[in-house]
């Protein structure tokens, strides 16, 4: 397994992109609006590796009644989730679900850059909202 991305909740996506660019010299490789997840997001490249790259994902909510909108209201800006890269997200959901971790999705959903994603309940993973992500097949 590897870390695909760390998701960071923010109020102003453009302002945070500019901060990460000038401070860490990171490059934006994708921007997307994901209506289903209630976010406008950007992926900033960190490194390439076996099985896929690693990224910082900056997340601005599309509204207050979304996962990231509620998180910002409750906790303010900061780390929202950690995403593990897996070769097969449906298989990982089955295996991890069978180990007693609650799945927040019944089936994989559409994620950034053509990926397939699913979330695990933070209370079952030591307080960390966890995403499983499968890169698109080329």
Q: Within positions 56 to 75, which residues make up the interface with ligand V0V, using CB under 6 A? A: 57, 59, 67-68, 70-71
Q: Smallest distance from the beta carbon of 71 to ligand V0V, in angstroms?
A: 5
Residue from 45, 90, 101, 122 in contact with ligand V0V (CB under 6 A): 122
Instruction: Report the C-alpha gap between 62 and 40 in whole angstroms.
Output: 6
The pair of three-digit structure tokens given for residue 82, joined into one six-digit string: 């950690």
| CB of 17 or CB of 119, closer to ligand V0V | 119
Residue from 1, 7, 48, 122 in contact with Co ion (CB under 5 A): 7
Q: Which spans of this chain sit near ligand V0V (rule: CB under 6 A)?
A: 7, 34, 37, 39, 57, 59, 67-68, 70-71, 80-81, 83, 104, 111-112, 115, 117, 119, 122-123, 127, 129, 131
């Amino acid at each position: 397994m590897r870390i695909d991305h760390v998701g960071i909740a923010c109020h102003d996506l453009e302002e945070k992109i500019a901060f990460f660019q000038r401070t860490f010299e990171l490059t934006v490789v994708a921007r997307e609006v994901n209506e289903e997840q209630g976010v406008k997001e950007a992926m900033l490249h960190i490194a390439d590796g076996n099985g896929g790259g690693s990224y910082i994902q900056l997340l601005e909510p599309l509204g207050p009644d979304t996962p990231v909108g509620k998180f910002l209201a409750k906790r303010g800006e900061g780390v929202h989730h950690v995403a593990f890269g897996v070769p097969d997200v449906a298989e990982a959901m089955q295996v991890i679900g069978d180990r007693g971790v609650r799945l927040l999705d019944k089936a994989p959903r559409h994620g950034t850059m053509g990926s397939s994603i699913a979330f695990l309940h933070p209370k079952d993973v030591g307080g960390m909202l966890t995403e499983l992500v499968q890169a698109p097949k080329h």
